[in-house]
Structure 1
Amino acid sequence: MELRESLQLSLRAIREHGLRSALTVVGITIGIAAVIVFVTLGASLQTAVIGEVSGDAPPEMQVTVGPEGQQGPPGTSTVPAFTERDVDEIESLQDVDRVVPQGTVQTSTLQHEGRSIAWESATATSPAFFEDNEFASGGPFEQGATEVVINSEAASLFDPELEVGDTLGLRVGQNTTREATVVGIVESTGSSPFGDISIPQVYVPTDPFYGTTAESPATGENQRVYPSLTVVAEDYEAVPSVQSAVETYLEDESDARTLKPTEYEFSVQTNEELVDQIREVISTFTGFVAGIAVISLIVGAVGIANIMLVSVTERTREIGIMKAVGARRRDVLQLFLVEAVALGIAGAVLGTLVGLAGGYAATSYLDLPLTFAPEWFAAAVLVGVGVGVVAGLYPAWNAARVDPIEALRRE
């Protein structure tokens, strides 16, 4: 029997059982569409995160200390270990443009014109922190001054909004409130993995706000110690050599090697490494979610197997007649396989179209850049066809084994 004839007979059988066939196709469609939607969301989220983190990022690296094997973005380190001597020594290394220390000042509230807002902490840093930020108004604070810089989101917490020149009170103890002058409002406080989402931030100079100190093992002096440093290289080409030099200094000469807990280790993470880490996490999550969606494909496969088994039972007499007039086992096997594959292809095509539409709608709703993963689309079509073949093999084999004499006896 020619393939064209098998296809015609299969399509006729599908039309005769339209509702049953349609429900089977819907199962495949839902499974493939779910996979494509989740994969598209994962690819789009990855593009958004990586674009935000690495888009206009300076040639910098984050230096932290934490449990062995732990790496992460700034803020993940909670152990103050880097002294002012370490800051100066790292800044003197070749090809280092600047070193920006960062610490945390614990607060309970922010106060302005009689209104108080609960506030957990402010970031203590140096004026160099703002060299890569744009100010909506004002500018960076000065070390030694009782001044504060906030971002636009923090300014909008008060009504009316805070402006440059306003006085902001920071409650840093049970009975201590530090009055500081707002000298700058920044438009952006750094890259955010979620695009438009920006967290209100308050920045203060380390002098006079940051009070965490320790004795420097090298000098014996009492110095401020910080949980993290941002090291900025002079250009992108110098990042690898600067990273290596910083790691060598930390392990061989730094105060931090003595001040950190024994089981903790240093992490000098560049933007590129951070991007790779984020990409790996998102890819793992996307694969996990897509794997769950594959369960729908298994349900679709069961549906195809079910309809083919029912079809073989209902068409037993027809199979007997075909064999009586000369049809071979191969012809019968081909007939039912073609029918199963046709259902799989129909589900794959519809699933791909629905998945594309769903991915577009989901990324538009979440305001993510639409990014497709074409390799998954090809895989979806292949899976649809494969599901049809696998699910139709056993029923087709059963049909091919039907005894023509016994089949003709059936009513």
Structure 2
Amino acid sequence: DSLTMDDAEAIATQVDGVSVVAPSQRARTQVVANGLNWNPQVEGVTPAYLDARDWSISQGRMFDDTEERQARRVIVLGATVATELFPNVDPIGQSVRMAGGSYEVIGVLEPKGQTGFNDQDDIVLAPLTTVKRRISGRRGRADTVSQISVKAVSEDALTRVQEDVETLLRQRHRTQEGEDDFTVQNLSSISETAAQTTQVFTYLLGGISAVSLLVGGIGIMNIMLVSVTERTREIGLRKALGARQSDILHQFGIEAVTLSVAGGIIGLIIGVAGAWLMTSLFNLPLVISAWHAGVAIGFSGLVGLVFGAYPAWRAAQLDPIEALRRE
């Protein structure tokens, strides 16, 4: 790592428009509690980290400056880690084992959710000094850090602050533009790019869904037209016995909707199974919305109703005498 604590101090004191600077050190280790184990990202941070990342505590508290300076064995869990290690227990005050030592849980973070395939809540926060001395094994390089989070005083100052930070770090590291041994990322730009990418995928999947519904609807219409042709004598017999056009219309309309809804349910089951498989492979949480599932089934029924209307109308318009004559 090329970044140092002195770099963080320089950014805080020499760059205008900076409100918070929070150096941090990343590590990854197994966390064990109550016979359960998890392998989250461990982030050694200062108390200012939450402010720099606009994050808050949902339970308990964040460790303070004294605990950070003294390398106390206290941690704050991300929502995913808390759920995995303490599914039915209040995690506050509980102990976990990590990197050969025992650590007390003093807080739980507010859920942040997914960014792509990355679960932001799969994280453990510990004092920066604790991670350096006890977890990451960086005693010999105590001054270096993995990253430095910087928060600008306003969104308008963000671009200028980014440019000033890059200039300052090049001066301190004696590098030229294009030869940087560091990377400066603007989280607002990253979020905007992620939102645009998500929007593109939404449109793409929407188009695929529309084509799938059209193809499925045409298939249902063809099946129902074949059914009407094969059951012509049955339709004629029912009409001869007193069935009205509306009765025939309802019969074939209900059959089309039933066929479409059955296909929708099967597709939903396959989709849920596929989602479960993917989340299991990539260790992601599975979230299924009952509302969205209901909308999917409802659209299936609507497709059956629309594309089954013409075959049902054809069946209802058959002349009973002509229908009974057909072989």
- State the TM-score bracket (shorter-chain normalisation): 0.5 to 0.7
Give the match for residue 5 of structure 2.
84
Q: Which runs of 5+ in 1 are unaligned?
A: 1-79, 216-221, 301-361, 369-411
- Deviations along 1:174-225, one digit per CA (max 9) or x if unpaired, are xxx1111222222x1546459xx8734321111122246598xxxxxx4442
The SS at the match of 1:268 is coil
The SS at the match of 2:157 is helix
User: What is the CA distance between 1:82 and its match in structure 2?
Assistant: 1.3
Instruction: State the percentage of identical aligned residues.
Output: 19
User: What is the CA distance between 1:89 and its match in structure 2?
Assistant: 1.0
| AA matched with 2:32 | L
User: What is the CA distance between 1:298 and its match in structure 2?
Assistant: 11
| AA matched with 2:190 | L
Q: Could you tell me whether the CA contact under 8 Å between 1:86 and 1:254 is conserved in 2?
A: no
Give the match for residue 165 of structure 1.
93
Counterparts of residues 261-340 of structure 1 (less than 5 Å)? 266-271=183-188, 273-289=189-205, 292=208
Distance 1:120 1:284 in 2: 30
Give the match for residue 185 of structure 1.
108
| AA matched with 1:121 | Q
1:139 maps to which of 56, 61, 75: 61
Q: Could you tell me whether the CA contact under 8 Å between 2:61 and 2:106 is conserved in 1?
A: yes
Q: Is 1:119 matched up with 2:39?
A: yes
What is the RMSD of the two structures over their aligned residues, measured on CA atoms?
4.0
The SS at the match of 2:48 is helix
Q: Is 1:245 matched up with 2:164?
A: yes
CA shift in 2, pair 1:233/1:363, >3 Å: farther
The SS at the match of 1:236 is coil
Distance 2:202 2:170 in 1: 37
If asked which structure has higher relative contact order (CA below 8 Å, sep 6+), I would say: 1
Q: Give the count of matched residue pairs.
A: 210
User: What is the CA distance between 1:240 and its match in structure 2?
Assistant: 2.4
Q: Could you tell me whether the CA contact under 8 Å between 1:99 and 1:232 is conserved in 2?
A: yes
Distance 2:291 2:72 in 1: 46
CA shift in 2, pair 1:265/1:294, >3 Å: farther
- Deviations along 1:53-84, one digit per CA (max 9) or x if unpaired, are xxxxxxxxxxxxxxxxxxxxxxxxxxx33111
User: What is the CA distance between 1:128 and its match in structure 2?
Assistant: 1.1
CA shift in 2, pair 1:212/1:229, >3 Å: farther
CA shift in 2, pair 1:264/1:366, >3 Å: farther
Give the match for residue 51 of structure 1.
none
Give the match for residue 389 of structure 1.
none
1:228 maps to which of 147, 157, 172: 147
User: What is the CA distance between 1:288 and its match in structure 2?
Assistant: 4.2
| AA matched with 1:279 | A
Q: Which runs of 5+ in 2 are unaligned?
A: 217-288, 296-327
Give the match for residue 268 of structure 2.
none
The SS at the match of 1:266 is coil
User: What is the CA distance between 1:254 and its match in structure 2?
Assistant: 3.5
CA shift in 2, pair 1:296/1:137, >3 Å: closer
Distance 1:84 1:94 in 2: 18
User: What is the CA distance between 1:237 and its match in structure 2?
Assistant: 3.0
Q: Could you tell me whether the CA contact under 8 Å between 1:109 and 1:119 is conserved in 2?
A: yes
| AA matched with 1:151 | G
Q: Could you tell me whether the CA contact under 8 Å between 1:189 and 1:201 is conserved in 2?
A: no
